[in-house]
Amino acid sequence: MATSLAIALSASANAASQNKGGKPQSTAPADVAAINTCLTAAEKSGGFGAECVGLVAHPCIKEAAGKNDDVARKNACAERELAIWTVKMREALKNVQSGGFKDIIEASQKTFAASRDRFCAVFDKIEPGIYPAGASYCRLRETANRTLSLIMLGVAVNEH
């Protein structure tokens, strides 16, 4: 399990991912630290880390509620955390691929990304109050959950 912790904590505070507009989205050191602390606690208790998903976005979304531009703010909150999970996913993918599953994982990731993007687009077409942060939050959840699975898979394929 030490390997999973190393992967989970490898996202640098200066890392960047792409938000839905294709613009670089930086990760804040405090946000990365909050998720890393949660993942460490989950690992120590034998957990999967699902409780760490939304840790950054939820308080931000709550704070944005009721503001004139709350829809845009809520989207930005979700994209802020999505940036962290995107970096963690890249690291987890490298770890899984080093275990000998490069071709399978690359093909699977293409399918995952396309499926996630098609599925999550639906959430931008419904009333914003029903699912705050719409497609951005959906991408955050889907990416984070996939990342958690990849972290565990990376541990399993690199045990020996």
Whether pLDDT at 102 is above 90: no
Phi, psi of 25, rounded to the nearest 5 degrees:
-120, 115
Q: Using one digit for the tens of pLDDT, what is the confidence trace for 41-83?
A: 999 999 999 999 999 999 999 999 888 899 999 999 999 999 9
**Residue 103: Cβ-neighbour burial (10 angstroms; 0-12, 13-18, 19+):** exposed
Q: How far apart are CA 138 and CA 72, in angstroms?
A: 15
Token representation of residue 31? 């946000």
Residue tagged 């963690």 (tokens): 88
Do residues 60 and 54 touch, judged by C-beta distance below 8 A?
no
Confidence label for 6 from pLDDT (cuts 50, 70 and 90) = very low
Q: How far apart are CA 146 and CA 151, in angstroms?
A: 9
